[in-house]
Amino acid sequence: MTHSHSWWQTGVIYQIYPRSFLDSNGDGIGDLPGITSKLDYLRWLGVDALWLSPIYPSPMADFGYDITDYTNVHPLFGTLKDLDTFLHEAHQRDLKVILDFVPNHTSDEHPWFQQSRESRTNDKRGWYIWRDPADDGGPPNNWQSRFGGSAWTFDQPSGQYYLHLYDVKQPDLNWRNPQVRQAMYTNMRFWLERGVDGFRVDALEVLLKDEQFRDNPLNPAWKPGDPPRRRLIEHYIVDQPGMHDIMQEMRALTETYDQRVLIGELALPVERLMSYYGEQLDEIHLPFNFQFVHLPTWEAHAIRQTVEGYEAALPEGAWPNWVLGNHDMSRIATRVGREQARLTQMLLLTLRGTPICYYGEELGMQNITLAHEEMQDPLAREHPEYSRDPVRSPMQWDGSAHAGFSPAGMKPWLPVATDYQISNVAAEQQDPRSILMLTRALLAVRRSSDALTLGSYQSVEQESATCFVYQRQYVHQCCLVALNFSAQDQVVTLPSQRQGRILLSTHLDREGLIPLSAMHLRGNEGILLEVEA
């Protein structure tokens, strides 16, 4: 392909949760050498970039999102040398590497916070957010932690409260302090200098807080049974004025290196999300688009509305992206069922923009069921129903003990899914019609097609309410995607006397030419066609 698009526009990103990918040393926890040993599999699959959830030193109060050292590797995952080896081996295979960057908070065991806590006059005091108690001695305002309870914790020796929008062991940094910004940019540079290809930036929407520390308003829509933190609307902690200056600084920093990407985790409604591309497209390259993850009903009309609304909202020149799941959200195969999981892979890998795949999606991995005492997630302590552990189970490599994730004698940190003997890489590689082989075929077709990687998007009106049909076109190349989201057979019609050539069916059992005027789709089937432009 000869064009001016970046790798992060034409490529497919694969998210690895390092604890759960492969345990190389028998301690029950996945590690960097384990990931390195599976690079050939990832190359074979056909993805282009690997995003690793945090691998930094951490007390693991929130599984690595509570960092004590931004420029090193936690011994559980290996050493800095192991990371360099992984980077080198990935680059040898033309795979890019994206690290998680966590700017909003550190661990309370980070040296910065240790100093900040020493006294009110310590020169690191202003690196975090400290406030005097309210008149009644209670917290400075009503802000709630996203992990439950007040977002403020009282520090007895200094008589002030510190802010933590997540766990009590994750104090928020004060991004209004220029010294904090510079220190964090130095941390980013450390990895960019080492050859990392970009960052997925965590919890961006809460980086700045209201300067007046006003109370958040009550949420009139809250009802008993909803998460306690939803009682309030996060008006004064989300998407505050001044955010875009920081985004531009981060972007300017990455632009001093060649071909690096910034992906932003921003839990915002679409219209507010769009501003994070920047007015001059000079902020976040890819503000995460989580709409498919939150879609209440998984049916053709809702999916089409989502795609069209997002496409319409994108600023000119901004590049789209799509996500079906991640380390915090229920797995797609659990949400929509095994049959439709195949359909969602075709959807994800044929829409316009950059797809981000969560490890195990290519196998149709589902959430695991855990007893409360088996849960590890800090969120599960008070509220087991909000545990994120079910989506973080070990990758299923083969039918041996622990699905080949850990050596036989070692119990993995989380249980392996009960279906691992049927649903695993080795078994699915042997089955020409498995979801793994479908995903690989989709990735291969996508990579070889300018229409799919670069083409325009246009939905096609259908009488059948259960089918979503759209066209991707680039110059003279045109692909048509027809997805049937019902269990019943459907006929898709186009006002055309022409024929289309089937490139792929989600059932992996059809090819050849079919008339566009009457395309028969079986229940839960998607087809990808090449048509004359």
Question: Which amino acid makes up residue 498?
Answer: R
Beta strands in 188-343 (DSSP E): 198-201, 261-264, 286-287, 321-323
First-residue to last-residue Cα distance in the chain: 19
Which of 167, 202, 239, 377 is catalytic? The answer is 202
Which of 62, 265, 361, 428 is catalytic? The answer is 265
Contact by Cβ (8 Å): 503, 528: yes
**CA–CA distance, 46 with 443 (Å, rounded to integer):** 6
**CA–CA distance, 505 with 119 (Å, rounded to integer):** 65
Which helix (H) or strand (E) element contains residue 456? strand 456-460
Buried b (16+ CB within 10 A) or exposed e, 338-353: eebbbbbbbbbbbbbb
Contact by Cβ (8 Å): 216, 237: yes
Q: Catalytic residue at 265?
A: yes
Tokens of 398: 């083969």
Residues near 83 by beta carbon (within 8 Å), at least 6 away in sequence: 32, 55, 73, 194
CA separation (Å) from 275 to 103, 202, 243, 341, 356? 20, 17, 10, 32, 21
**Active-site annotation, residues:** 202, 265
